[in-house]
Homo-oligomer: A and B are copies of this chain.
Amino acid sequence: MAAQQLTKNQSLVLDALHHADGPLSAYTILDKLRDHGFRAPLQVYRALDKLLEFGLIHRLESMNSFVACAHPDHQHHHDHGVTAFAICEDCGQVTEMHDEAMEERLTVLAGKQHFKTEKTTIEIRGHCQNCTAE
């Protein structure tokens, strides 16, 4: 599955996420796209589902919202392994992190339980560097 040609709705949603300075909820996206003809939540959710499938965006479980993937070559659909997110509770900024050692550790953890991993969520809530400086 290579660089997928996005539909109009999918492109609009992806653009909205790219131009946002933080994660957006589905309903916030809906409001941003009303001028482009969006009327109902499903138009957003259907696009989000596809974008998630293509690996172009991520869902932040702890805040029911979505961010564009920070991976530079996001046109190429390739799983970029486990992702950890640092989410600032002050400014809302999200940092996407990848770490081989962490991934390895998770594999070991799951292995101990003979658990077959499908998807891993790691979200760190706290305060970013900017918001910590006093």
Interface residues in chain A, defined as those with a beta carbon under 8 Å from any beta carbon in chain B: 61-62, 84, 86, 88-89, 95, 97, 99, 101-102, 105-106, 109-110, 112-129, 132
A116 pairs with B102, CB closer than 8 A:
no
A121 pairs with B62, CB closer than 8 A:
yes
Interface residue from B101, B115, B126 paired with A105 (Cβ < 8 Å) = B101
A106 pairs with B115, CB closer than 8 A:
no
A117 pairs with B124, CB closer than 8 A:
yes
A123 pairs with B126, CB closer than 8 A:
no
> Can you name the residue of chain B whose Cβ is closest to the Cβ of A118?
B126
B106 pairs with A124, CB closer than 8 A:
yes
Supposing A84-B106, A86-B110 touch, asked if A127 and B122 sit within 8 A by C-beta, the answer is: no
15 CB contacts below 8 A, A to B, read: A61-B121, A61-B123, A84-B106, A97-B112, A99-B105, A99-B109, A106-B122, A113-B128, A114-B129, A115-B127, A115-B128, A116-B126, A116-B132, A120-B122, A121-B125
